[in-house]
Structure 1
Amino acid sequence: MNPNKIKAIWVLGLMLSVTIAKAQINEGVIKYEYRIDMHRGLTPEQEELKKMIPQHRIENYYLFFNPLESHYKQVEDDDAALAANQGGSRMRMRQPKSETYVHKGDRKIIRLQEFMGKNYLITDSLELIPWKMGNEYMEIEGYVCHMAYYSDTVAKQEITAWFTVQIQPFLGPDKFATLPGTVLALDINNGERVWVARSIEARAIKPDEIKKPEKGEKISREDFQILVDEQLKRMGARPGSFRF
C-alpha cells in the first residue's frame, strides 16, 4: 500500500481516538477465546482422521494494552481444549508458546512463536491491511462493534472483523491491530479460525504484564512460513494450511 495512504489512515485513527477520548478505554486487558477448526488442514487422503481428531481446538489469550503498547499472550497454565466429537468428553493438550507485542509509536510488531519445541522471534513492520467497512453492527460484551472485511488473495483468506471505537484504535488479537478501534471478534474463512472477546476490563496495567519478547531465534516472517510449510508437508498435511 502507498506509504502516504498508510500515514493518512494512521493519523485518522489517532484523530478518532482524540475525538472520543472521554468515553474511550485506553488501558486494560481483554480475554479472547480462540477457536481453530482442526479438520480444515486435513488433506482428502486424511479424511479418516476426522473420526479420531476433535474438530475444534480452543485456546484462551489475554491482550494487555496501554496507550502505546499491547501484548497478546496465552493465559498461563491454560492448556488448549479439543472440543469433543459427538458429545464425548473434551481432550486437553499443551499449547505451543505464542505471543504478539505491538508498539504503536514504532509501528513494529514482534511475534514469539514456539515451533517443534523451539522459540522463534519474528520482527516486522505492522502491516496495514486494506480493510473495507461493512454496514453491519453487533454487540460484544456490551460494546457496539462495526464490521470490516478483507480478502487476502495471497493467503487465500476471507477475513471478517468486528471492532469498537469505545476502546482505543489499532488494537486487536494477534497481528490484527490496524483498524480505527479495537477488534473484539474476528473470523478467517468462515470458521477456520475465530477469535471472540469473552471479557473486557479497564484497569491500570502492571509493569510485568507488557513485555517485549526477547528470547528466541530471530527469523523473517517469510523464512518462518517456509519452515512451517516444510514441516506440514513432512507430516502429510496441506502446505499453506497454516498462514503465519
Structure 2
Amino acid sequence: MKIFCLFSLMLMASHFGIYAQDFQGEATYFSKTTVNMDFGGRQIPEDRKKEILQRMKEANERTYILTFDKSTSIYKEEERLEQPGNDRGGRRFGMMGGAGGDYYKDIKEGRYLVKNELFGKIFLVDDSLPKLEWKLGGESKQIGNYTVFKATATKTIKRPNMRAIFRRGGENEEKREEEFTEKDIEITAWYAPDVPVNQGPGEYWGLPGLILEVADDVTVILCTKLVLNPTEKKEIKAPNKGKTVTQEEYDKISKEKMAEMRENFRGGGGNRGGGGGRP
C-alpha cells in the first residue's frame, strides 16, 4: 500500500512538472491579524480611537505572493496604492511586531533572510531557519481544487504589549508592564500533498506538501490562488538591503524601540504638543 501511494504521488508530481529542473510555483495568500487594542486608560477622544483602530485593521490585512521552487522561496507583500491621507501611519502599526516582507527561505541550506521595516529603518535578519515539530493529523478539507490535511505544532512567540505602550504614568508607575509578552501558542496548518514541496507562507515550512492555510492565535493566512509552472518565471532572489542582524539582535532592537515609544506616549499624553508623537 505504501509503495502504491508513493507511486501515485510521483505520478501526480510528474503531471504537474514538480520534478522538472525548472519547476516553479506562485501562491497568493491573504493574511488577516486581529489586534485587541487596550489604550491603558488613556483619555483619547473616541474619534481618535476609531481612527487608530481603523489604521490598525488596514495595516493588518495584507496580500502576499509566495514564489517557490523545490528548495527556495521568496514571500513578498503585494504592492498596493496608499490611500490619500493614510501615509505611513497605519502601516507603522503593522511593523510593531517585526512584521515585514521579502521573506526568503533556503530549505536546502537551512537559512532564511527577511527584510523588516521598524519605525522607518530597514533591517535584514539573517539566521538559521527555525523548524517546528509538526504533528500530522488525519483531518482533511478542501481549499480550492486541493484536498488539504491538518498539521499542528507548538511555538513560543513574543508580541508587543499594546496596553504597556498606551498605559498612563502615575501611581502604579513602579508596576510597569513589559513591552513584549511571551507565550506558547498552537499553530494549525493545512497542507496539500498534491503539491509535494515543503514550502509555505513566511516562516512556515516543513510539511509534505505546500501549506495553503496556517493560523496562530491572532493571524490567519489563506491561499487564494495557486499557479504551478507559470509561463513567466520569476527570479527567487534573497533580499540584500538593510542593516544585517541576527534574529536575537533584531528582537533586542524591537524591544528598545517599543520602550521608546511607550515613553513618548507617557510624556506627551498622546498629543503632539507634549513631546510624544501621535500613533
TM range (shorter): 0.7 to 0.9
CA distance in 2, matches of 1:216, 1:186: 28
Instruction: From 227, 246, 251, give the equivalent of 1:201.
Output: 227
Instruction: From 34, 39, 48, give the equivalent of 1:37.
Output: 34
The structure where strand makes up a greater share of residues is 1
Q: Which amino acid aligns with 1:159?
A: I
Name the counterpart of 1:227: 253
TM-score, normalised with respect to structure 1: 0.73
Instruction: From 98, 101, 104, give the equivalent of 2:104.
Output: 101
Name the counterpart of 1:123: 126
Instruction: From 63, 73, 84, give the equivalent of 1:60.
Output: 63
Name the counterpart of 1:11: none
* Equivalent pairs, count: 210
Report SS of the residue matched to 1:173. Answer: coil
CA distance in 1, matches of 2:215, 2:238: 27
CA distance in 1, matches of 2:12, 2:117: 38
Identify the range of structure 1 (146-155 vs 161-170) with the bigger mean alpha-carbon deviation: 146-155
For structure 2, the residue ranges without an aligned partner over 5 or more in a row are 1-6, 19-23, 84-88, 159-182, 264-279
TM-score, normalised with respect to structure 2: 0.65
Q: Does 1:148 pair with 2:151?
A: yes
Name the counterpart of 1:3: none
Identity %: 24
Name the counterpart of 1:171: 199
Is the contact made by 2:199 and 2:207 (CA closer than 8 Å) also made in structure 1? Answer: yes
Aligned-CA RMSD value: 3.2
Name the counterpart of 1:158: 186
CA positional deviation for 1:148 = 0.9
CA positional deviation for 1:138 = 1.4
Q: Aligned pair in 2 of structure 1 residues 39, 179: CA closer, same or farther (>3 Å)?
A: same
The structure where helix makes up a greater share of residues is 2
Q: Aligned pair in 2 of structure 1 residues 154, 101: CA closer, same or farther (>3 Å)?
A: closer
CA distance in 2, matches of 1:58, 1:195: 10
Is the contact made by 1:129 and 1:178 (CA closer than 8 Å) also made in structure 2? Answer: yes
Report SS of the residue matched to 1:171. Answer: coil
Q: Does 1:181 pair with 2:209?
A: yes
CA positional deviation for 1:31 = 0.3
CA positional deviation for 1:129 = 0.6
Is the contact made by 1:162 and 1:184 (CA closer than 8 Å) also made in structure 2? Answer: yes
- Greater radius of gyration (CA): 2
Q: Which amino acid aligns with 2:186?
A: E
CA positional deviation for 1:211 = 1.2
